[in-house]
Amino acid sequence: MSMSPKILAGVGIVAGVVAVGLALGWWGIRNSEPNVPAPAAGPPLWGSPATNLAGVTEPAHAPFIPPPPSRPWPAITSNAPANPSAAAASANLLTNWEDQVNEILGSDEDDTNKVKQLLALFPRLPEDGQAEVAQHLSNLLPDENYAPLGKLLVDPKLPESVQDVLMADVLNRPNSLKLPLLLDVAQTPDHTQASEAKDILELYLDEDYGTDWNTWRQKLQEWLKDNPD
């Protein structure tokens, strides 16, 4: 039994309505899903701008460059003296010592007081000042008061130029004063005049006893008894 054209037309209309309804439903579901942007394919190349999630274009950034490997710091050197006491002594030196020496020598004080003042000034003088004052002391101190100069003569810490002045002075003193001091200098380690002092003793005693200082002293006392000043 065949359907009439009217029935077929009605079925077609119903099918069309259903199809339109399905299409409208699918379209509404698609529009209701959130609009999530596709993930970026990878970090932007250096020098290329990047777009953040908010859709704002950000400026390009230079690539991160790691710092170079750490190196040890170079040793810090200093010109300061290794010995703190030497630094303090250097800072305590007088700069106007010539004026002070001239003032002492030109005063109306007697020689005894001048010697005391020069000796008090001596430790604070530079090398050239000590050499000059040593010469003044040599002129001011008589033989009977030579002990302060004798202490300076045997001091191995004094500069060689100062010891030269003191050595020249003691060689002009009497044998009883000179030779015992030369023996003290000869046996003082690191003294700049030790070798010269020993050579002079050899000339007087006509003998070399090496480093047997007890024998040196004994023979020197015997020589002085036989050769008084």
* Distance in angstroms (rounded) separating the CA atoms of residues 134 and 140: 10
Structure tokens at 97: 């010592």
The residue-averaged pLDDT of 142-153 equals 96
Q: What are the pLDDT digits (tens) for 15-47?
A: 555 555 555 555 555 555 455 455 555 555 444
pTM above 0.85, yes or no: no
Q: What are the pLDDT digits (tens) for 80-129?
A: 455 444 444 566 888 899 999 999 999 999 999 999 999 999 999 999 99
Kindly list the domain boundaries of the chain, sorted by start residue: 95-226
State the pLDDT at residue 91.
65
Q: Are strands 50-51 and 57-58 parallel, antiparallel or unpaired?
A: antiparallel
Residue 161: half-sphere exposure toward Cβ, Cα within 13 Å = 8
* Distance in angstroms (rounded) separating the CA atoms of residues 28 and 18: 16
